[in-house]
Structure 1
């Protein structure tokens, strides 16, 4: 028997890079499998999965970061002390209607050549002061026609149990801005008693009302404390410093937007029931009869 043994002879190559490539391809484990066919390690497989999944995970993480950024910014913008979104103590349903804008006031004064002050009115602006007239009264009526509103449904959710409920289920609510304007109008009218008169034989209630209005306006001004600066000037002729009444911007809430909202909830002033069961006639007594929002009328039944 021929005992000749045969051995595989590796072919030499002068190209070391080719040899390295062949060694890498054909060197294997004990099973004889080439390295290229051996199972990859867990870390290697995870690395490939992450690389392949990045195109899906990456955009998701980016959107998630945008969401968190928006949530943080939104929370910051809804500070309870931000007049642009509504203060914590203000009526909740009106807050979405708050709109801020920059404007110049039309109530400036100016100095004439003799050093005397004179009113300067913006052309086309509504007049709220001056000699009494139906036009001026109508302008005041327009901006105070929201002193009280009747809220129902969702608009009433934050005032339920905190104010008077009318027999029709609506909640009777006053709004400070309109109350302050009403007070200011009362002070204006007190400058023209000969024109408007005093409705009460005893002038004391009227005087008390005016004093209340002055104090309420003082508190409102101090509460808001607008910080828009007033330019000053020095007048050489009169050797004195004085305000330079020039047009300047103020940042304001859009009052007409608030007024539009209030007009959606007009108050039915006939729906009142007095403690003795009489129905109020809906006559509001802002001109002197302090403490009485309505007069008694005929008897009526009212189920609580």
Structure 2
């Protein structure tokens, strides 16, 4: 085997007249070093990939401004209206989950009047002016004037079909307030002795509201875990929905809507249409 390598070395020497030939042992050393490097690289590759993967995850975790191609809950999604100020996130413990006495009778914790608005008001119960005013402060004056630029961004080429023929310009509101309006309509439907029935808020409207709320809940898909717990007055577990959730700051959205109204500092003047009704 040694003689074969020597013969190969002598034959190749004539073909490489322009370069000085290295001794055979040097090539063997290079091949050995190359094999060692290949083995080392292959052995280290999983660790290198793990480090790179962990670095990417750490970057995403530590970067609150990161958002995917569709946007993010904290910044805004591509389908959201762009607001002049960032809507912060808040950790909020929900309230209102039923409790049970030992005899099985259900009860709910009273509203905490010292809690920050809007959680310091009653929104459900026996119909009353107090509850009606609470809902008015929550969702009143929810529609505002929209600029043509905002209309194009929101509705694309079909934006012209949303011209307001009565007041001029375009009129719209944030979807959240429409969903709350629907919830309030369902509340009123439970107290028809107190709230007069109207055709426009009849069965079709109620079914629309139910279906809208179904889609809203499915769309935002909260993954906060809701546990079941034991109550002595029940023969089976019952949920405890009073858990901490991460929410957009409602007060910021309410303030923005108010300021977009006529007379507000963010009001958009309406464009007059020739075919205004």
TM-score under structure 1 length normalisation? 0.57
For each residue in 1:276-300, what CA deviation from the matched residue of structure 2 results, as whole angstroms up to 9, or x when unmatched?
x573xxxxxxxxxxxxxxxxxxxxx
1:224 partnered with 2:223: no
Superposition deviation, residue 96 in structure 1 = 3.4
Superposition deviation, residue 122 in structure 1 = 3.2
1:116 partnered with 2:105: yes
Superposition deviation, residue 155 in structure 1 = 5.8
Shift of the 154–208 alpha-carbon distance from structure 1 to 2, 3 Å rule, reads closer
1:171 partnered with 2:170: yes
Superposition deviation, residue 149 in structure 1 = 1.3
Q: Secondary structure at the match of 1:128?
A: coil
Shift of the 236–191 alpha-carbon distance from structure 1 to 2, 3 Å rule, reads closer
Alignment correspondent of 2:237: 241
For each residue in 1:73-126, what CA deviation from the matched residue of structure 2 results, as whole angstroms up to 9, or x when unmatched?
58734652411111111112x273311011112322211121222122332020
Alignment correspondent of 1:88: 78
Alignment correspondent of 1:138: 133
Shift of the 95–146 alpha-carbon distance from structure 1 to 2, 3 Å rule, reads farther
Contact 1:146 1:259 in 2 (8 A): no
Superposition deviation, residue 176 in structure 1 = 0.9
Q: Which has the larger radius of gyration?
A: 1
Q: Secondary structure at the match of 1:141?
A: helix
Alignment correspondent of 1:258: 253
Alignment correspondent of 2:193: 194
Q: How much is the aligned-residue C-alpha RMSD, in angstroms? A: 3.4
Listed as ranges, the gaps of 5+ residues in structure 2 are 1-58, 114-119, 264-269
Regions of 4+ moved over 4 Å: 72-75, 153-157, 166-169, 235-238, 271-275
Contact 1:228 1:250 in 2 (8 A): yes
For each residue in 1:232-284, what CA deviation from the matched residue of structure 2 results, as whole angstroms up to 9, or x when unmatched?
22346644222246x4211111111001011111169xx89999x573xxxxx
Alignment correspondent of 1:127: 122
Bigger helix fraction: 2
**Separation in structure 1 between the aligned mates of residue 78 and residue 89 of structure 2, nearest angstrom:** 17
TM-score under structure 2 length normalisation? 0.62
- Alignment map for 1:71-82 (pairs within 5 Å): 73=63, 76-77=66-67, 80-82=70-72
User: Across the two proteins, how many residue pairs are aligned to each other?
Assistant: 202
- Alignment map for 1:5-20 (pairs within 5 Å): none
Shift of the 250–75 alpha-carbon distance from structure 1 to 2, 3 Å rule, reads closer
